[in-house]
């Protein structure tokens, strides 16, 4: 598996299936460890129904697919430049800002089902999914190498979508609804806890975001 993830060993004619498997290798391993602290905290603090948790999980996954599509397209047009840019720390900056944005949203929300927040509530999970896709790792480096070798923005974007669909197969699809169910049990007959759980989750997200910014 380590040889497969080595960008230097991936030929330009790498098949879509191989790229999908590369995404799966990320979704089943590093993705869970990297994303769970952010999305798990968001889901717990959100305090919504299981349907809301599933929707937020879907938005998170959609954000990742969109990000990988854009990254693949940029790599296809700009070559190896993007890999160097991500290693420079720009990913940590975007992740930090996305996490702080999600924390501020939770902090400002007074009620779990406030109508005025319904539309804006879609932004934080999508933004977190997009931002966390910028974390430098071996599978992403391999994807960018293939896209750069393709030398085509359109083909690079296609590679990114296929990779993202593979990365979408993550244990988070199960873990996040379970975390929401755990939060629901905590709140049952104790609705006064909702505000404290939400504020606590907001504080954690803001701290995680600041910590990422400090890594620059």
**Is 5 part of a structural domain of the chain?**
no
**Is 8 part of a structural domain of the chain?**
no
Contact at 8 Å (CB) between 64 and 140? no
**Is 4 part of a structural domain of the chain?**
no
Q: What is the mean pLDDT of the chain?
A: 85
Asked if residue 111 has pLDDT above 70, the reply is no
* pLDDT confidence band for 150 (50 / 70 / 90): confident
Q: Which pLDDT score, from 0 to 100, does residue 137 have? A: 85
**Is 65 part of a structural domain of the chain?**
yes
**Is 168 part of a structural domain of the chain?**
yes
How many structural domains does the chain have? 1
**Is 184 part of a structural domain of the chain?**
yes
Residue range of the domain that includes 142: 14-214
**Is 82 part of a structural domain of the chain?**
yes
Model's pTM, two decimal places?
Answer: 0.85
Rg (CA), the chain: 18
pLDDT in tens, 161-211: 999 999 999 999 999 999 999 998 888 877 778 888 999 999 999 999 999
**Is 2 part of a structural domain of the chain?**
no
């Amino acid at each position: 598996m380590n040889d497969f993830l080595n960008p230097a060993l991936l030929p330009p004619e790498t098949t879509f299936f191989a790229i999908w498997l590369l995404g799966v290798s990320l979704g089943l391993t590093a993705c869970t460890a990297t994303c769970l602290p952010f999305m798990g905290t968001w889901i717990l603090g959100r305090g919504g129904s299981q349907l809301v948790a599933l929707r937020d999980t879907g938005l998170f996954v959609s954000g990742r697919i969109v990000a990988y599509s854009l990254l693949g397209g940029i790599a296809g047009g700009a070559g190896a430049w993007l890999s160097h840019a991500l290693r420079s720390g720009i990913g940590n900056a975007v992740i930090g800002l996305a996490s702080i944005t999600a924390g501020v949203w939770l902090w400002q929300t007074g009620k779990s089902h406030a109508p005025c927040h319904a539309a804006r509530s879609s932004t934080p999970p999508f933004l977190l999914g997009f931002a966390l896709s910028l974390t430098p790792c071996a599978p992403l480096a391999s994807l960018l190498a293939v896209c750069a070798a393709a030398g085509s923005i359109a083909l690079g974007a296609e590679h990114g979508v296929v990779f993202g669909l593979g990365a979408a197969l993550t244990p988070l699809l199960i873990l996040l609804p379970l975390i929401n169910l755990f939060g629901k049990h905590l709140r049952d007959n104790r609705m006064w806890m909702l505000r404290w759980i939400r504020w606590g989750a907001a504080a954690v997200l803001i701290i995680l975001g600041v910590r990422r910014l400090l890594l620059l």
